[in-house]
Structure 1
Amino acid sequence: MERKGLISDHIVDYLLSGGKEITDPVLQEWLDRNESNRQELDRYRRIWEESGHYMDIGLFDTDRAWEKIDTVNRQKNIFRKRMNNMYYTLSGIAASVLLMVVLSLSGVFEEEQDISVSLTADYGNRSEIALPDGSIVKLNSGSDITYVYNSKKKVREVRFQGEGFFDVSKSKTPFVVKMANGVEVRVLGTTFNLKAYADDPTVQASLVEGHIELGDHTNKLNMKAGEMVEFDKRTNKLKQLDGDLSHAYGWLNNKLYMDNMSLGDVCKYLERWYNVNITIQKNLGEKIHYNGVIQEETITEVLEALSHLSNIAYHVKGKNISITSK
């Protein structure tokens, strides 16, 4: 191990010097031993050269780079760049590629490694994340997602709560979305909307294309494109839903389709979308139902539209809103 560590130092020095002519006698002697050593050096050189596509090493500031990454994670900004693998996802920079080389020489990558990324869309915000496998997930307000890939188990696993539109990269490696109460969605490559807020009594999946399996360990249903299915977390029962599929992901276009939707359910959407607290007069939330679509810019405009559609009055005080009968 000491000898391998010594060679790694010489390889790193060689790469930092430009990776051209070999003037280091120790490195040259190691290369002359056998062809496999030469092939190993070529592999590290290719990794190093690839990093040049991502940034200029002369301009790279390690502390600033990691500070920026940390800031992005804390602010939960939108990730828009597709990522081929986690190495380039985390950095695409010379310093990190150098770290990969050192770790590889040390035998670290021979052990089982988990790769993970996480993102949260707070109430009042929406986000988009590109997962390391190339999948894209758009998150509605109040959603959390954590992606984990294990290179040994060959499983793409997502822990999720909230609402998201998944465009899953096609692969033979299973893609499993895990939610509360043991509910799962299993796919290989497909596009679907998933509504699974922790405080909702149901999980709703709307399949745009491909095939998915929805359910828990006792009750599963294979879905086909164009189908909408609901899983009741209280009874563990599955049922197919009728309606327009596009209405399920209307939120992507800032639209709320109300298909006989109760006032209580409408207000639950509004609380998440606008990060407000809404109090409804007792028994009023289930008495009033709406049909139609609303697409307003502010919470006040939405409430004004609802007041014209039904016999309600609203009062706004900061983030607190109360709704009563007129």
Structure 2
Amino acid sequence: MEDTTKIKELAFQYFSGTISNADEITLFAYINQNVYNGNKFRAWEKEWITKPTVNEQTNKEWKSLERQLRIRRSISMPTVNIIRRKWKQMIAVAAIFIVLLGSSFSLWVKVSSNVPDNYFVCQAPYGNKTKILLPDGTSVWLNAGSTIKYSNKFNSKNRLVELNGEGYFEVSKHNGITFTVHTKGYNVVVKGTKFDVSAYPDDPYIMTSLLEGRVEINYKQTKMNILPGQAAMLDLKTKQLTRHETNVNQSKSWVENKIDFDDITVKDLSKKLSRQYAVNILLESEKVGAMKLCISLRNKETINEVMEGLKKIIPITVVHKGKDIYIK
């Protein structure tokens, strides 16, 4: 059993920015053992905040973090990042639990001097995926090239996040309080469920697929409910919102490092592969882009292996130029 006094000392060292790498890992492991330990960590935050003295070097470090915090190393267990700001001579500390699934991950904190809210912006860069545990217990997987934003006031009563890209959500229930995902086209409102939302800025549609529970889509004056096994799609060109049956397991296959589609165009597949492998796939033929195919990749194939496989099932020529891949 962990020595609580020692762990508390490590927590205070973490808040002050003086903890060693080895002690930091020990602290993270303790926090993530159970909810009780996580709650103790938050209590220690509050105690540390009320301490009257903060050294000058620590203040300089926190000011630097306010401009941009970039995680420079990856470890195999969940990590906790603390961002601090000064307001009315008091220090506010917020914690976020992040599981790093990719080789790199960036977190920015945007601070406005005119608005008392801070916003956490979490990003999964191209070629990587990221899992996040929100303060209310909701788990979010971000697909490559996606961001999620939420306020430092996010809690059991304010459960609003903003998604740009694709995210798979497992939303925890909180006494009937709704959880809302805001996208560029519509809001997804739930109470406790599992669903996938795809809202990339360069896609012509927004898609929400439901695995468990119930979801309400709020689009302008329209409210649409979808059930497990269904998806809601907003065509951004025609502004039409439709509901249809779908293989929802395929919509979250990316979470398990798979690519699994029964009916997808080469154009749409190229976009997904470009994000997943951090490359730029260019189609030189609209005819090729309109072709549809069934594809299932489950063995963590490289992009070269994927291209070789495509050449065997459709008549294409592939040319590699660095990160650019031309399909003719």
Q: Using structure 2 for the length normalisation, give the TM-score.
A: 0.66
Amino acid at match of 1:265: D
Aligned match for 1:146, one of 146, 149, 170? 149
Asked if structure 2 preserves the Cα contact closer than 8 Å seen for 1:80 and 1:128, the reply is no
Aligned match for 1:136, one of 119, 131, 139? 139
Aligned match for 1:90, one of 75, 82, 91? 82
Cα distance 1:152–1:165, how it changes in 2: closer, same or farther (>3 A)? closer
User: What's the counterpart of residue 180 of structure 1?
Assistant: 184
Amino acid at match of 1:312: I
Whole-angstrom distance in 2 between the partners of 1:82 and 1:218: 41
Q: If you compute each CA radius of gyration, which structure gives the higher value, 1 or 2? A: 1
Whole-angstrom distance in 1 between the partners of 2:77 and 2:179: 20
**Percent identity between the two aligned chains:** 33
Whole-angstrom distance in 2 between the partners of 1:240 and 1:178: 19
Asked if structure 2 preserves the Cα contact closer than 8 Å seen for 1:78 and 1:128, the reply is no
SS of residue matched to 1:302: helix
Asked if structure 2 preserves the Cα contact closer than 8 Å seen for 1:76 and 1:121, the reply is no
What is the 5 A alignment of 1:307-318?
A: 307-318=311-322
Alpha-carbon offset, residue 219 of structure 1 = 2.3
Amino acid at match of 1:321: I
Aligned match for 1:282, one of 265, 282, 285? 285
SS of residue matched to 1:145: strand
Whole-angstrom distance in 2 between the partners of 1:76 and 1:145: 21
Aligned match for 2:304, one of 294, 300, 303? 300
Whole-angstrom distance in 2 between the partners of 1:115 and 1:132: 15
State how many pairs are aligned.
253
Asked if structure 2 preserves the Cα contact closer than 8 Å seen for 1:139 and 1:164, the reply is yes
Whole-angstrom distance in 1 between the partners of 2:75 and 2:68: 12
Asked if structure 1 preserves the Cα contact closer than 8 Å seen for 2:188 and 2:215, the reply is yes
Alpha-carbon offset, residue 116 of structure 1 = 3.6
Asked if structure 1 preserves the Cα contact closer than 8 Å seen for 2:180 and 2:189, the reply is yes
SS of residue matched to 1:307: helix
Whole-angstrom distance in 1 between the partners of 2:247 and 2:135: 32
Cα distance 1:79–1:118, how it changes in 2: closer, same or farther (>3 A)? farther
Whole-angstrom distance in 2 between the partners of 1:323 and 1:136: 37
SS of residue matched to 2:285: coil
User: What's the counterpart of residue 160 of structure 1?
Assistant: 163
Does 2:312 match 1:320?
no
SS of residue matched to 1:155: coil
Whole-angstrom distance in 1 between the partners of 2:163 and 2:227: 22
SS of residue matched to 1:312: coil
Q: Using structure 1 for the length normalisation, give the TM-score.
A: 0.66
In structure 2, list runs of 5 or more residues that go unmatched: 1-11, 13-41, 49-56, 85-89, 94-114
Whole-angstrom distance in 2 between the partners of 1:77 and 1:173: 34
Alpha-carbon offset, residue 317 of structure 1 = 1.3
Task: State the Cα deviation string for residues 276-321 of structure 1 (Å, max 9, x = none).
Answer: 1112122233342111312342110110111111111201111011
What is the 5 A alignment of 1:202-213?
A: 202-213=205-216
Cα distance 1:65–1:261, how it changes in 2: closer, same or farther (>3 A)? same
Cα distance 1:232–1:82, how it changes in 2: closer, same or farther (>3 A)? farther
Cα distance 1:258–1:130, how it changes in 2: closer, same or farther (>3 A)? same
The RMSD of aligned alpha carbons is 3.7
Whole-angstrom distance in 1 between the partners of 2:222 and 2:76: 35
SS of residue matched to 1:261: strand
Asked if structure 2 preserves the Cα contact closer than 8 Å seen for 1:174 and 1:188, the reply is yes
Task: State the Cα deviation string for residues 125-154 of structure 1 (Å, max 9, x = none).
Answer: 111111122211101101010012647993
Cα distance 1:90–1:294, how it changes in 2: closer, same or farther (>3 A)? same
Whole-angstrom distance in 2 between the partners of 1:217 and 1:70: 36
User: What's the counterpart of residue 250 of structure 1?
Assistant: 253
Whole-angstrom distance in 2 between the partners of 1:178 and 1:158: 6
Bigger fraction of residues in strand? 2
Asked if structure 1 preserves the Cα contact closer than 8 Å seen for 2:140 and 2:170, the reply is yes
Amino acid at match of 1:90: I
What is the 5 A alignment of 1:259-270?
A: 259-270=262-273
Asked if structure 2 preserves the Cα contact closer than 8 Å seen for 1:116 and 1:149, the reply is yes
Amino acid at match of 2:313: L
Alpha-carbon offset, residue 75 of structure 1 = 5.3
Amino acid at match of 1:215: N
Whole-angstrom distance in 1 between the partners of 2:192 and 2:73: 26
Whole-angstrom distance in 2 between the partners of 1:132 and 1:163: 20
Does 2:234 match 1:231?
yes
